[in-house]
Copies of this chain bind each other. A is one copy, B any other.
Amino acid sequence: MTLPLIDVHTHMYLPRYMALLRQRTKVPRVVSRAGGDRLVILPDEEADTSTSAGRPIGGEFHEVSRKLAFMDQHGIAVSVVSPANPWIDFVEPEEAPALAAQLNDDLEAICAGSAGRLLGFGVLPLQRPETCAAELRRIAGHPHMRGVIVGSAGRGKGLDDPDFEPIWKAAADAGLFVFIHPHYGVGHGLFPDTGHAMMLALGFTFETSIAVALLILRGTLQRHPALKLLIAHAGGTLPYLAGRLDSCVKNDISKDFGLAQPPSHYLRQCWFDSISYHPPALAALEAFADPSRIMFGTDHPFFRPHVGDAVLDRTTWPVPEENLQALASLSPARQKAIAYENGLAAFGIALP
């Protein structure tokens, strides 16, 4: 079955941001080598000064035409594009609000020129939380912006940072999505010499899971039932662990979180991308989530097709392929819901 697709998890390094990364001498940075640009962004890549530091990147990381070509190749009708990690986390606080606004305006302009193919999630200057609600309200006036992407670590104090309360209120009031996405990972001192694999597979999903669980336990989703959280990578691990979290909260004699409902109730208020990679995880997500709140995603441009160190430009990409294969384990009606129907409803759009 060939389905039209709405891609809710797809990234771009905007040109203004690429220029910034190229100027930098520390992580995160882009290094130009004879063999091509390399993106050096992960915390454990900081010390690596070799020519093979980070990962090779090409135009698919920052060119709109490459995003559209990828979409055409994979049957993606509309993409909701988000800036990629680590966003503007490293920017000095006094510069962050203006840069966030510029990047959000850049993304709006790109989407406006895409003939309906692109929508956007902007960024927030989390270093200056008191400015974020105003930026959210400003973004809400941009016709192609549908929310913001927020790193699970916040400004280093998690998402349950009390100073973020106005962000949740402003996003809920504006009807904007907040896309929760990891960058720093959890536990990576525990798995040395594992390349990017353990960090991305486990460290990233653990980071997201802790952040969202804390948002729930601190009552954020109880206080803001209209808040639209989209949780990256099929919710990290939470659709699997939600029952255990409920039990651990209910049976913890040492702590009362004061929640009216079990944590899973609030987790079910959230949206999830379908980036689950295999049918068992998709089965759990399907059994757990609100059926209207699971939406297809590709994580483009991460995991370029390759054989060994050679990047292949003329094949389909692995992540959408793996996730479409997992989707095929569901009924045709559920495939349609996840592939595009839920996305159309969530973002108020029609297929172009």
Residues of A within 8 A of B (CB): 52, 55-56, 158, 186-187, 190-191, 193-198, 200-202, 205-206, 209-210, 213-214, 217, 233-234, 237, 239-255, 257, 264, 275-281, 283-288, 303, 306, 308-309, 318-319, 322, 326
Contacts and interface: CB of A to CB of B under 8 A. Distances in A.
B206 A243 contact: no
Contacts of A217: 194, 197-198
Contacts of A278: 242-244, 246, 264, 288
A49 B188 CA distance: 31
Contacts of A240: 234, 237, 239-240, 276, 280-281, 284
Contact of A196 (B187, B254, B318): B254
B280 A322 contact: no
Number of chain copies forming the complex:
2
Nearest to A239: B280
Nearest to A325: B243
Given A200-B252, A240-B284, 8 more contacts: A55-B254, A194-B255, A197-B252, A202-B209, A206-B237, A239-B281, A244-B281, A284-B284
A276 B283 CA distance: 14
26 contacts: A186-B186, A186-B190, A194-B255, A196-B248, A197-B245, A197-B257, A198-B210, A200-B244, A202-B206, A202-B237, A202-B241, A202-B245, A205-B241, A206-B206, A237-B237, A239-B280, A239-B281, A242-B278, A243-B280, A247-B303, A247-B319, A264-B278, A280-B284, A280-B286, A280-B288, A283-B283
Contacts of A281: 239-244, 284
A279 B194 CA distance: 33
Given A276-B243, A283-B283, A255 B201 contact: no
A190 B201 CA distance: 19
B213 A202 contact: yes
A247 B257 CA distance: 37
Determine chain A's interface SS by DSSP, over half rule. helix
B190 A254 contact: no
A237 B56 contact: no
A243 B279 CA distance: 8
Given A240-B237, A254-B52, A248 B197 contact: yes
Given A197-B255, A280-B284, A187 B190 contact: no
Contacts of A319: 247, 251
Given A206-B186, A210-B187, A318-B250, A201 B284 contact: no
